[in-house]
Chain A
Amino acid sequence: MSSATVFGVCGAVVIGLGLYGLITSPQPLRKIVAFNLVGSGTFLIFGVVARRGAVAGLGSDPAPQALVITGIVVAFSATALAVALLLRFFQATGSATLRASAPPSTASDTSPG
Chain B
Amino acid sequence: MSFQTALELVLAAVVLGVAIWAIAAPETSAAVVSYVAYGLLLALIWVALDAVDVALAEAAIGGLGGVLLLGAAARLRATEAQAKAERPGPAVCVAAAMLSALVAAAIAAAVLLLPVPAPTLAPAAAANAAATGMANPVTNVLMAFRAMDTVLEKVVLLLALVGIWSLAPDNRWGGNPGLRHQADPRGVLAFLARLLAPVGIVVGVYMLWNGADHPGGAFQGGTILAAMWLLVTMAGLMDTPRISSRRLRLVLVAGPAIFLTVGLGGLWFGAAFLAYPQAYAKPLILGIEVAMTLTIAVTLGLLLAGAPERSAEP
Contacts and interface: CB of A to CB of B under 8 A. Distances in A.
B18 to A, nearest CB: 10
A73 B299 CA distance: 11
Contact of A29 (B4, B65, B72, B97): B72
A53 B121 contact: yes
Interface of A is mostly: helix
Contacts of B126: 56-58
A60 to B, nearest CB: 4
Given A10-B45, A45-B111, A74-B153, A26 B88 contact: yes
B31 A30 contact: yes
Taking each of B125, B160, B169, B307, which has the highest tally of chain A beta carbons within 10 Å of its own beta carbon?
B160
Interface residues of B, number: 101
Given A34-B23, A70-B142, A87 B72 contact: yes
Contact of B104 (A12, A72, A85): A12
B57 A27 contact: no
B57 A72 contact: yes
A66 B149 contact: yes
B141 A83 contact: no
Interface of A: 1, 3-21, 23-27, 29-30, 32-34, 36-37, 40, 43-45, 47-63, 65-70, 72-74, 76-81, 83-88, 90, 95-97, 99, 109, 111, 113
24 contacts: A4-B49, A9-B12, A13-B16, A15-B103, A21-B23, A29-B69, A29-B73, A33-B35, A34-B22, A37-B22, A40-B39, A47-B51, A48-B49, A49-B118, A50-B51, A52-B114, A58-B125, A62-B140, A69-B142, A78-B160, A87-B72, A96-B82, A111-B169, A113-B311
Given A12-B104, A14-B16, A26-B88, 15 more contacts: A5-B111, A9-B108, A17-B104, A44-B45, A47-B49, A48-B49, A62-B141, A69-B138, A73-B57, A76-B303, A80-B304, A84-B164, A87-B72, A87-B75, A90-B75
